[in-house]
Amino acid sequence: MAMLLAQSALPARVRIVEVGPRDGLQNEKQLIPAAIKVELIERLQAAGLRHIETTSFVSPKWVPQMADNAQVMAGMSRREDVTYCVLVPNLRGFEAARATHPGEIEVFGSASESFSQRNINCSIEESIARFAPVVKAALDEGIRVRGAISCALGCPYEGDISPDKVAHVARLMKDIGVQHVAVADTIGTGTPCKAQAALEAALGIYELADVSGHFHDTYGQALANIYAALELGVSQFDTSVGGLGGCPYAEGATGNVATENVVYMLHGLGIETGIDLEGVIEAAAFISHHLGRPVGSQVSRAFLARCES
Ligand code: HMG
Ligand code: MG
């Protein structure tokens, strides 16, 4: 009975934004052929993912793994009901991205001044000034715009980050027209109360439907943080197939929370996702096989071990 009461307070449906092809692969040292990335995207959309971050249009000197962005965008098949999102740091990136017809772009700022400098080589204020014309250009063309607020729960250089800083960046993003924000635990140090405080800061600026959680799982807290977010009514999360991921400018940060772990938990809570769990596990096995290592998530490992026995 207690469980039913808890469930009824949670959202009935959750939207997963699959970030594996971008956040998941960007930190891989060995260059992955575009054809493999395309195949991964195909498998993810076949498994029911309807919002996919496919690549980024950043400097190839900074993130060589994403240099094949246009090839990936040209190679994958498009479904009408899937939103294809790409990361864009500046107008140059937007011009290149626009030619590949994304449905959405993501600008990425930070709640931490030091991380902003390391990740995009400018201050928070400068980043917003850079994003403003990008956001305008995208919206003028009918391309949706989301924003990521990195280091919202902690920073590799500054340590604790106060929710005020999250609110500050959310306000700046809102003022330049960013339609949706993802509150990001870049280094995965956050715990549930911290996650709620950071999300509440963003919710002071954005509507509930316009806020997502983006949790890396470095300290194994991501599922707990997602549950804490669900309790606030947040119903959109960025996740990465196989738990791939890490940011090149956040030393030691490991993968995003695994899509299959999140889907397993949500389905167990009676929350709809529209996602076929086995399809995601197969996609995780596919990319792990290509990377030459065992699949990173507990749900995939448990499922695959059961199949082999
Ligand atoms: P910069 O060096 O300050 O900028 O980099 P610049 O304007 O002086 O450009 C340097 C060189 O890059 C020039 O080339 C530019 O033309 C070129 P050169 O003249 O030396 O030959 N360039 C570009 N090339 C392609 N596409 C572009 C572009 N812009 C400049 N768009 C810059 C500034 C922002 C470009 C750089 O810092 C950068 O690309 N940073 C990206 C870092 C990144 O991708 N980090 C990972 C993604 S964020 C993330 O993972 C966090 C997230 O998941 C949420 C979370 O978990 O926190 C979203
Ligand atoms: Mg990330």
Confidence check: pLDDT of 214 > 50 = yes
Percent of the chain with pLDDT over 70: 97
pLDDT in tens, 8-41: 689 999 999 999 999 999 999 999 999 999 999 9
Q: Round to whole Å and give the CA distance between 167 and 86.
A: 24
Closest-CA residue to 156 (of 255, 221, 252): 252
User: Whose alpha carbon is nearest atom 8 of ligand 1?
Assistant: 121
**Structure confidence at residue 5 (pLDDT):** 46
Closest-CA residue to 19 (of 215, 174, 198): 215
**Structure confidence at residue 253 (pLDDT):** 73
User: Whose alpha carbon is nearest atom 40 of ligand 1?
Assistant: 120
Ligand 1 pocket, Cβ-based, cut-off 6 angstroms: 23, 26, 56-63, 87, 89-90, 92-93, 96, 108, 119-121, 148, 150, 184, 186, 214, 216, 247, 249
CB 71 within 8 A of CB 31: no
Atom of ligand 1 nearest to the CA of 122: 3
User: Whose alpha carbon is nearest atom 35 of ligand 1?
Assistant: 59
In testing the pocket of ligand 1, which one of 19, 53, 59 has its CB within 8 Å of the most ligand atoms? 59
CA-to-CA dists, residue 260 to 229, 264, 287, angstroms: 18, 6, 14
Q: Round to whole Å and give the CA distance between 73 and 82.
A: 13
Residue carrying structure tokens 């240099």: 67
Ligand 2 centroid to Cα of residue 216, in Å, is 7
CB 56 within 8 A of CB 72: no
Backbone angles phi, psi at 119, to 5 degrees: -85, -40
Tokens of 62: 């900074």
Angle at 119 between CA 118 and CA 121, to 5 degrees: 65
Return the CATH fold of 2-308.
TIM Barrel (3.20.20)
Ligand 2 centroid to Cα of residue 202, in Å, is 17
In testing the pocket of ligand 1, which one of 52, 58, 85 has its CB within 8 Å of the most ligand atoms? 58
Confidence check: pLDDT of 102 > 90 = yes
Which of the two residues, 35 and 293, has the higher pLDDT score? Answer: 35
User: Whose alpha carbon is nearest atom 56 of ligand 1?
Assistant: 186
pLDDT in tens, 188-200: 999 999 999 999 9
